[in-house]
Structure 1
Amino acid sequence: MYTWSLDELYKGYDESFDTDVKKVSEIITSLNQQALNLNNKEDLIAFMKLDIEFNNLAQSLVSFVSLNLATNATDTISNQKYSQLMPMFNEATKAYAYFKKFLAENKDNFDEWVLEDDFLKEHEFILREIISNSQYNLNEDVEDVIAKMKLNASSNWSKLQGYLGSMATIEYDGKTHTLSSIRNLAYSHDAKTRKEAYEKELELYTKIEDAIAFALNSIKGEVNTLSALRGYENALEQTLIASRMSKETLDALMGAIESYLPTFRKYLNHKAELLGHTNGLPWYDLFAPFETSNPKEYTVEDSREFILDSFGHFSDDLQEMARKAYDDRWIDFLPREGKRDGAFCSNQPQIKQSRVLANFDGSISDIVTIAHELGHAYHGMMIEDLSILNTNYTMPVAETASTFCENIVFNAALKTASDEEKLVLIENSISDLTQITVDIMSRYKFESEVFERRQTEFLFAADLKEIMLQAQRDTYGEGLDPEFLHPYMWACKGHYYSGGLSYYNFPYAFGGLFALGLYAQFENEGASFVPKYQALLKATTTASCEDVAMMAGIDVTQEAFWKSSLDVVAKRIDDFIALTPIK
């Protein structure tokens, strides 16, 4: 079966699901009652234990609904259940506001409480973080109103973007294509197909661009308003604090990438010449697979064998987890109408499993994508025995394990590949690294300008297209053909459409380059590195990005580390160019 099974959550919207909905409603009532009577350490512990019970049940309920919607945006029952659950969960907002207020008011007592109680000691990091961030809290009534307002604001705007992106279709080559399936043709071995699919993709957006533009404006406007109301300097400061990452680290990361843009442009121009282009690489050939005399298409079964073998070169537990993911139907593989574009992994710590959504279309890149998402699942496995309150890791470190697994697949494959296959693998790797550096920088520049301009103006689709094009010119530069860029990259990326998660772009660069540095350590240390890596992943839920990196002796606040990782990329680019001379 190529679809995932959600039976471990619920077998359907049955009596078990309804019973848990009722339990959650009762727990929320109890949380609200207890929050009004927080007076001492014992009250705090009782509230948190009830919160654990709530989180375990809520995780299963909302995941079951959301995962169903991810594969079928028109699922009427799931949409109804989502509309039922979200307002219910928001009824706990005031309780959490009182809880945070209580902690802030008792910060002087907290040191003593932690010493006296092991349960509080276990949760010390997140509780101290709540106290530290209390300056950004609003009063209980305002927090309650904001939570209710967002249900019919950013939450619904986000759903609109996802719905339009999954439901919009266009005819091409005698077939009806979704956005996901037409975008997958960017990896076709046929040059004519890639160009025509690109043109059809751009045509498809014209049907939905205005609605998605309104969604983006509404979400970014809401974030601007709320970040200012809470006292943040801007949305970026709010994101960095939530990411447990310093501006110094972000600046070092972006500064290093900026200095290596000419190296990536050299690769793009070389690929353009290999494909017969003279004015830079047109966007429709950005993901063109490097041709061999016998280009290979992969099956889902091939991906299983490839990934299990590769993961086995790292550790037995990673391989066994991947085997379980394939055998126990954790993965939904194939694109279909109504299914959302892209890929993701949803960790389910309450059942000690994960679920992976992919849109597998037979390319080596699709195998790398599955490996990436299984890296998230491995990260989830490292933290599944923690209290559920200690299972939230931040955006930058979220991409570490996933990208590390990409490196495992890449390096393991190189050891057994033929000369032609090695070239394909190296080019695929460079292409992916270009995405997590150059393209990520273009997305970061785009989102920064949208946030800035949204403070004073509404940005229509034409405005958003021009901002995106300029961001691509500033980053890809002469590496891309200026006549064939992608003005709609803001419309197809769900990362922009969250009221609670801004700037989901630079974390990919952080995770990708951080993973390269970690993989270099693995190559030097071998099997002895594995326990250190596992401990590092486990620490991501209760430490800053800088402290996590220091566990591996890495200072991410300095450009030197990021440049050392980018040197690895530069070496791959030089090797690829040397092995593929222009004839």
Structure 2
Amino acid sequence: MTDSQLPKWDLSDLYKSIKDPKIQQDMDQLKAIAASFTAKYKNLFTGTAWVAQDLFEALSAFEEISSLSTKLAVYARLLSFTNLDNEDIQRFYQQIVEFLTTLEQQFTFFTIDLNSISENQLDKAISASSDLAFYKPWLRRLRAMKDYQLDEKLEQLLSDKSITSTQVWSKLFDETLSKLRFDYNGKTLGIAEISDLQSNFDKSIRAASAKSISDTLKKQGDLFVTITNVLAKDLEINNRWRGFKDVAAARHLSNDVEAEVVHSLFTTVQNNYVSLAHRFYKLKAKLMGVEKLDYWDRNAPLPFNEDSKSYSWEESKNIVLDAYGSFSDQARGLVNQFFENPWIDAPASPSKYSGAFNMPTFKGHHPYVLLNFKGKLRDVSTLAHELGHGMHSLLADDKGTLMANAPLTLCETASVFGEMLTFQSLLKHSNSPQKRVQALEAKISDMINTVVRQIAFYDFERRVHESRRLNGELSRHEINKHWLDTQKQALGPYVEVPDDVQEFWMTIPHFIHSSFYVYAYAFGDCLVNSLYQIYKNQPKDNTGDFEAKYMAMLSAGGTKHHKTLLEPFGLDASNPDFWEQGMQLIHTFIDDLEEEMKKL
């Protein structure tokens, strides 16, 4: 199947085009609703004259506004991410961003007023109204920000300034990265295409593509250094004004997770660098017939003929559907909706966002999945991953626009579990030692990238932000050194980390768009490893019990804390042993790989 035959999403169920008159109608409607909302509710909840029904009606109206705002935002973002070189679409995207930012400022009073309500008064109102009780989880998370909230004018100022600070710098990063062109073998490639060559079967192609990336970043990387410095300072200013002491504290609060839980994850993974990553790369070096792996060989296919296999879209679809179907008919049915409807944009393109994501939307509307599908084994895994996110979004839809989305620490659960199901399906059908080694190596590599590599990313971010806060603007050399130091520590003695890759951090969007997002991947992988072992070991006469608990957990969306969600499984992320338990499955897979290698 050629790129032109791969599925592309159809956004016409949002708007027909950027010229659709419905866009302006919705914007006008939002302005009118905002004015009415402000007139009716401003200062109402700072006193004692309101009743539970008032608060329920206000929250219901606020959710309707959020849904319509999200509709505009999703359409603009999805168009932007697939047309990064289209000036008209980028201008439209910026117009929507500015409109929604201005609109958002009109509701600053609402969250401030809600946080002025006493705990006793709020508890009484929730107890008196089952309708209002529906929004209790959202109110809990909102009020967690109470101690870090500024007054209304300052909140409006920060929101207004974001248009010319975080938002515009993030947009500049996306546009710059998408427009970078890499010289390779007489061709000029975009970031997605050159990155794809990093996992090519031919070692010389991998090396040449890495050199092309390195050469291009050396010539054009100054802007990425500036963007990183500006955004790190912007975060420091926000943290200082709000009273956050740690550079990642705001992210932890947003993720609804305690700092000590994240620190326990961080230190436990680092303590396992040697027994996980270093041991695995030693085995992979042996499989590749070398003493040490080159940096660009970490994700290389093994030198077996079968490993050069390319997966068609139809084949990938069937593998993923069968994997989800092995877990439950409900899971298969939910995932199949993405194949039956134009909700996926699969082709790779130079003008497209280089990664993959699932974008949730608003109550009653389906999510969208973006891929850069090239037919490799990892593309099959990525498809399974993003469709796990999509299934999660569909299951939690009834929680509404305000509460459907799980915090980042839990939103990776369904995606990583879907990857695990797909891997187990592929492993089951691997009928030779070579194929089993291939399947195990690919899965362990993905798990190392998800756990060890992401914690190394988190370490890198912490070092950059802490250095920026303490020492002022960072030089290119200083940022590069943080990158090399954290990479060498994580990858170990069997991976060569040359100075040529010291600027590869510049190509990672998460550092720009979502500071400290990356530890959520490690959180999700360790959580899923523990869940999968429970699933695999459940008594045969109890089949279906895990499925029911698991689907209920996903259906909760963002309404429950991780401690409550994991309790039915007998798991507790606040217990340090939890993280060791989560990594035990990776150790087991490495043991299995070593045993299978003896049969080659």
Number of the residue aligned with 1:50: 61
Q: Which residue does 1:285 correspond to in 2?
A: 297
Provide the residue aligned with 2:460 in structure 1.
Answer: 446
User: Match for 1:100 among 108, 111, 125?
Assistant: 111
What does residue 461 of structure 1 align with? Answer: 476
Query: In the alignment, which residue of structure 2 is the partner of 1:162?
Result: 174
Q: Report runs of 4+ in structure 1 exceeding 4 Å deviation.
A: none
Q: 1:472 aligns with which of 472, 481, 487?
A: 487
- Number of the residue aligned with 1:522: 535
Partner Cα distance (2:357, 2:251) in 1 = 21
Report SS of the residue matched to 1:7: helix
Please give the alpha-carbon distance, in whole angstroms, between the structure 2 residues aligned to 1:63 and 1:331: 14
Match of 1:113 among 125, 131, 145: 125
User: Given that residues 136 and 230 in structure 1 are in contact (C-alpha distance below 8 angstroms), is that contact kept between their aligned partners in structure 2?
Assistant: yes
Determine the structure 1 residue equivalent to 2:565. 548
TM-score w.r.t. the length of structure 2 is 0.93
Matched-pair contact (CA < 8 Å) for 1:379–1:401: yes
CA–CA distance in structure 1, aligned partners of residues 41 and 491 of structure 2: 52
Contact 2:105 2:160 (8 Å CA) reproduced: no
Deviation at 1:417, TM superposition (A): 2.1
CA distance in 2, matches of 1:96, 1:502: 25
- 1:280-319 matches, within 5 Å, as 280-294=292-306, 295-319=308-332
Q: 2:438 aligns with which of 424, 433, 438?
A: 424
Whole-Å separation in 2 of the counterparts to 1:184 and 1:326: 24
Distance 1:416 1:190 in 2: 26
1:466-545 matches, within 5 Å, as 466-483=481-498, 486-498=501-513, 501-525=514-538, 526-545=543-562
Where do residues 543-582 of structure 1 align in structure 2 (5 Å cutoff)?
Answer: 543-581=560-598
Deviation at 1:465, TM superposition (A): 1.3
CA separation in 1, counterparts of 2:252 and 2:63? 26
Q: Identity percentage over the alignment? A: 24
State the partner residue of 1:337. Answer: 350
Match of residue 348 from structure 1: 361
Q: For residue 309 of structure 2, give the secondary structure of its aligned residue in structure 1.
A: coil
Matches of 1:76 and 1:34, distance apart in 2: 40
What secondary structure is seen at the aligned counterpart in 1 of 2:327? coil
The match for 1:402 is 415
Is 1:29–2:35 an aligned residue pair? yes
After the TM superposition, which of the residue ranges 49-58 and 123-132 deviates more from structure 2?
Answer: 123-132
In structure 1, list runs of 5 or more residues that go unmatched. Answer: none
CA deviation after TM superposition for structure 1 residue 540, in Å: 4.3
Aligned with 1:387 (options 397, 400, 405): 400
Q: CA deviation at 1:308?
A: 1.1
Secondary structure at the aligned position of 1:542 is classed as coil
2:2 pairs with 1:4:
no
Find the aligned partners of 1:483 and 1:156 in 2 and give their Cα distance: 33
CA separation of 1:474/1:516 partners in 2, compared to 1, >3 Å: closer, same or farther?
Answer: same
Question: What CA RMSD, in Å, does the superposition of the two structures yield over aligned residues?
Answer: 1.8
Match of 1:176, SS state, is strand
- SS class of match (1:171): strand
Aligned mate of 2:448, from 424, 430, 434: 434
Are the structure 2 counterparts of residues 462 and 35 from structure 1 closer, same or farther at C-alpha, using a change threshold of 3 Å?
Answer: farther
SS in structure 1 of the partner of residue 359 of structure 2: strand
How many residues of Structure 1 are paired with residues of Structure 2 in the alignment? 580
Is contact 1:310–1:412 with CA below 8 Å preserved after alignment? yes
Partner of residue 213, structure 1: 225
Q: Report the residue type matching 1:106 in the other structure.
A: I
Q: Distance in 2 between matches of 1:553 and 1:256?
A: 20
Letter in 1 for 2:165: A
Aligned mates of 2:493, 2:202 — CA distance in 1: 24
Inter-CA distance 484–271: structure 2 relative to 1 (3 Å threshold):
farther
For the Cα contact (< 8 Å) 1:300–1:362, is it kept in 2? yes
Is 1:20 aligned to residue 31 of structure 2? no
User: Which letter does structure 1 place at the counterpart of 2:30?
Assistant: V
**Structure 2 stretches of 5 or more lacking a match?**
none
Residue 303 of structure 1, CA deviation = 0.9
Deviates more, 1:85-94 or 1:287-296: 85-94
Structure 2 matches for 1:319-334, cutoff 5 A?
A: 319-334=332-347
- Range 387-396 or range 59-68, more displaced: 387-396
Mapped partners of 1:132, 1:445: distance in 2: 26
Contact 1:24/1:57, CA 8 A, preserved across alignment: yes
SS in structure 1 opposite 2:405? coil
CA distance in 1, matches of 2:533, 2:365: 30
CA distance in 1, matches of 2:499, 2:599: 23
1:73 aligned to 2:84?
Answer: yes
Write the distance in 1 (CA, Å) between the matches of 2:225 and 2:173.
Answer: 9
Please give the TM-score of this superposition, normalised by the length of structure 1. 0.95
8 Å CA contact retained: 1:303, 1:367: yes
Q: Which stretch has the larger CA shift, 139-148 or 169-178?
A: 169-178
What SS class does the counterpart of residue 517 from structure 1 fall into? helix
What CA deviation, in whole Å up to 9, does each residue of 1:123-180 have, x standing for no partner? 0121133233211110001100100101110111111111111111122123321111
Residue in 1 aligned with 2:164?
A: 152
C-alpha contact (below 8 Å) 2:450/2:525 kept by paired residues: yes
| Counterparts of 2:394 and 2:436, CA distance in 1 | 32
Q: Is the 8 A contact 1:272 1:281 kept in 2?
A: yes
Farther-moved stretch of structure 1 (86-95 vs 157-166): 86-95
Provide the secondary structure at the position in 1 that maps to 2:569: coil
Distance 1:187 1:482 in 2: 17
- Please tell me whether the aligned partners of residues 274 and 582 of structure 1 are also in contact (alpha carbons under 8 angstroms): no
